Amino acid sequence: MKHPDEHEEGITLERLLREHDLTQGTPCHRCGYDLYQHRLGSPSCIRCFPTRDYHTYSDQLDRLHPWKRQSVKE
Ligand SMILES: [Zn+2]
């Protein structure tokens, strides 16, 4: 069995989510992004409440899961 190496090319969205404990949910009502991290029991939008290490993988995340700015209706 081939073991995927650590090259960026091998990184998938699924893997990124798993590594950073992110979940995909309904688009955030503030920014329209749909990835959340569970903190203190409740999910927090990764863009509105970025974690300390968010900048280390935000580029990859943007590439794999671009943020489509949505006009959110109230
Ligand atoms: Zn948000």
Computed over every residue of the chain, the mean pLDDT equals 84
Is residue 16 domain-resident? yes
pTM here is 0.73
For ligand 1, the distance from its centroid to the CA atom of residue 36, given in whole angstroms, is 9
Q: Are 65 and 15 in contact (CB under 8 A)?
A: no
**pLDDT tens digits, residue range 40-54?**
778 899 999 998 999
Confidence of residue 1 (pLDDT cuts 50, 70, 90): low
Largest alpha-carbon pair distance within the chain? 50
Residue 34: give the domain boundaries.
11-64
Is residue 2 domain-resident? no
Is residue 73 domain-resident? no
Is residue 48 domain-resident? yes
Is residue 1 domain-resident? no
- Looking at the structure of the chain, the number of domains it has is 1
* Sheet bearing 42-45, strands edge to edge: 22-24, 35-39, 42-45
Confidence of residue 39 (pLDDT cuts 50, 70, 90): confident
Is residue 59 domain-resident? yes
For ligand 1, the distance from its centroid to the CA atom of residue 33, given in whole angstroms, is 6
CA distances from 72 to 7, 9, 22, 31, 39 (A): 36, 33, 22, 8, 24
Is residue 60 domain-resident? yes
Q: Which helix (DSSP H) or strand (DSSP E) does residue 19 occupy?
A: helix 13-19
